[in-house]
Chains A and B, each alone.
Chain A
Amino acid sequence: MKNVGQREPNVIPGFGITLGFTTFFLSAIVLIPLAALVLKAGGMEWDRFVGVITSPRALASYKLSFGASLVAASLNMVFGFALAWTLVRYDFPGRKFIDAIIDMPFALPTAVSGIALTTVFAGNGWIGQYLEPLGIQVAYTWIGITVALTLIGMPFVVRTVQPALQEVQRDLEDAAETLGAGRFYVFRRIIVPTVLPALLTGFTLAFARAVGEYGSVIFIAGNMPMKTEITPLLIVIRLEEFDYAGAAALGCVMLAISFVMLLAINLLQVWGRKRLMVSR
Chain B
Amino acid sequence: MAGPSTSAEQAAELASRPGHTNLRTSLVRWLLITISLTFLGALLAAPLAAVFAMALENGWNAYFASFADPDTRAALRLTLTTAAIVVPLNTVFGITAAWCIAKFEFRGKSFLITLIDLPLAVSPVVSGLIYVLLFGLNGWFGAWLMEHEISVVYALPGIVLATMFVTFPYVARELIPLMQQLGNDEEEAAITLGAGGWFTFFRVTLPRIRWGLVYGVILCNARAMGEFGAVSVVSGNIRGLTTTMPLHIEILYNEYNFIGAFAVASLLSLLAVVTLIIKTLVERGTGYRRR
Binding site for B on A (CB under 8 A): 10-15, 18-19, 21-23, 25-26, 29-34, 36-37, 40, 79, 82-83, 85-92, 95, 98-117, 119-120, 125-127, 147, 150-151, 154, 162, 166-167, 169-171, 174, 208, 211-215, 219, 232-233, 235-236, 239, 242, 244, 247-248, 251, 254-255, 258-259, 261-262, 266, 280
Residue in contact with A212 in the complex, picked from B48, B122, B184, CB distance below 8 Å: B122
User: In the complex, what residues of A have CB within 8 A of residue B7's CB?
Assistant: 87-89, 95, 99, 162, 166
- Contact across chains for A215 and B228 when beta carbons are under 8 A apart: yes
CA distance A140 to B268 in the complex (A): 24
Given contacts A89-B10, A235-B126, A261-B121, 11 further A-B contacts (CB under 8 A): A12-B103, A86-B32, A90-B33, A106-B219, A107-B219, A110-B246, A166-B5, A169-B1, A169-B3, A235-B129, A244-B132
In the assembled complex, the CB of A39 is this many whole angstroms from the nearest CB of chain B, namely 9
In the assembled complex, the CB of B21 is this many whole angstroms from the nearest CB of chain A, namely 12
Q: Which residue of A lies closest to B221 (CB)?
A: A107
Total chain B interface residues with beta-carbon distance under 8 A: 103
**B63: interface (CB < 8 Å):** no
Given contacts A82-B39, A106-B219, contact A12 B121 (CB under 8 A): no
- Contact across chains for A100 and B97 when beta carbons are under 8 A apart: no
Given contacts A98-B40, A116-B51, A254-B123, contact A89 B14 (CB under 8 A): yes
- Contact across chains for B219 and A29 when beta carbons are under 8 A apart: no
Given contacts A19-B106, A100-B280, A169-B3, contact A36 B249 (CB under 8 A): no
- Contact across chains for A33 and B246 when beta carbons are under 8 A apart: no
- Contact across chains for B122 and A255 when beta carbons are under 8 A apart: yes
Q: Which stretch of B65-73, B133-141, B143-151, B206-214 is in the interface?
A: B133-141
- Contact across chains for A119 and B129 when beta carbons are under 8 A apart: no
Binding site for A on B (CB under 8 A): 1-8, 10-15, 17, 29, 32-33, 35-37, 39-40, 42-44, 46-48, 50-51, 54, 93, 96-97, 99-101, 103-104, 106, 112, 114-119, 121-126, 129-134, 136, 138-140, 161, 164-165, 168, 184, 187-188, 191-192, 196-197, 200, 219, 222, 225-229, 232-233, 245-247, 249-250, 253, 261-262, 265, 268-269, 271-273, 275-276, 279-280
- Contact across chains for A104 and B233 when beta carbons are under 8 A apart: no
CA distance A234 to B15 in the complex (A): 53
- Contact across chains for B125 and A36 when beta carbons are under 8 A apart: no
User: In the complex, what residues of A have CB within 8 A of residue B165's CB?
Assistant: 29-30, 33
In the assembled complex, the CB of B146 is this many whole angstroms from the nearest CB of chain A, namely 15
- Contact across chains for B123 and A232 when beta carbons are under 8 A apart: yes
In the assembled complex, the CB of A219 is this many whole angstroms from the nearest CB of chain B, namely 7
A/B interface sample: 24 pairs, CB < 8 A: A12-B197, A12-B200, A15-B100, A21-B96, A32-B134, A33-B130, A36-B140, A83-B40, A85-B32, A109-B225, A112-B249, A115-B253, A115-B262, A162-B7, A169-B2, A213-B229, A214-B123, A232-B229, A239-B129, A239-B233, A244-B138, A258-B118, A258-B126, A261-B121
User: In the complex, what residues of A have CB within 8 A of residue B134's CB?
Assistant: 32-33, 36
Residue in contact with A31 in the complex, picked from B115, B124, B279, CB distance below 8 Å: B115
In the assembled complex, the CB of A205 is this many whole angstroms from the nearest CB of chain B, namely 9
- Contact across chains for A110 and B228 when beta carbons are under 8 A apart: yes
CA distance A95 to B8 in the complex (A): 9
Given contacts A15-B104, A86-B33, contact A214 B229 (CB under 8 A): yes
- Contact across chains for B133 and A40 when beta carbons are under 8 A apart: yes
Given contacts A30-B165, A110-B226, contact A104 B100 (CB under 8 A): no
- Contact across chains for B130 and A37 when beta carbons are under 8 A apart: yes
- Contact across chains for A30 and B47 when beta carbons are under 8 A apart: no
Residue in contact with A112 in the complex, picked from B11, B29, B226, CB distance below 8 Å: B226
User: In the complex, what residues of A have CB within 8 A of residue B116's CB?
Assistant: 26, 30
User: In the complex, what residues of B have CB within 8 A of residue A115's CB?
Assistant: 51, 249, 253, 261-262, 265
In the assembled complex, the CB of B2 is this many whole angstroms from the nearest CB of chain A, namely 6
User: In the complex, what residues of B have CB within 8 A of residue A126's CB?
Assistant: 46, 50
CA distance A211 to B262 in the complex (A): 26
- Contact across chains for A12 and B104 when beta carbons are under 8 A apart: yes
CA distance A239 to B271 in the complex (A): 31
In the assembled complex, the CB of B90 is this many whole angstroms from the nearest CB of chain A, namely 9
In the assembled complex, the CB of B162 is this many whole angstroms from the nearest CB of chain A, namely 9
Q: Which residue of B lies closest to A91 (CB)?
A: B11
In the assembled complex, the CB of A140 is this many whole angstroms from the nearest CB of chain B, namely 14
In the assembled complex, the CB of A22 is this many whole angstroms from the nearest CB of chain B, namely 5
In the assembled complex, the CB of B186 is this many whole angstroms from the nearest CB of chain A, namely 11
Name the residue in A83, A86, A174 with the highest tally of chain B Cβ atoms < 10 Å from its Cβ.
A86
CA distance A21 to B280 in the complex (A): 32
In the assembled complex, the CB of A124 is this many whole angstroms from the nearest CB of chain B, namely 12
Given contacts A12-B184, A169-B1, contact A120 B138 (CB under 8 A): no
CA distance A114 to B268 in the complex (A): 13
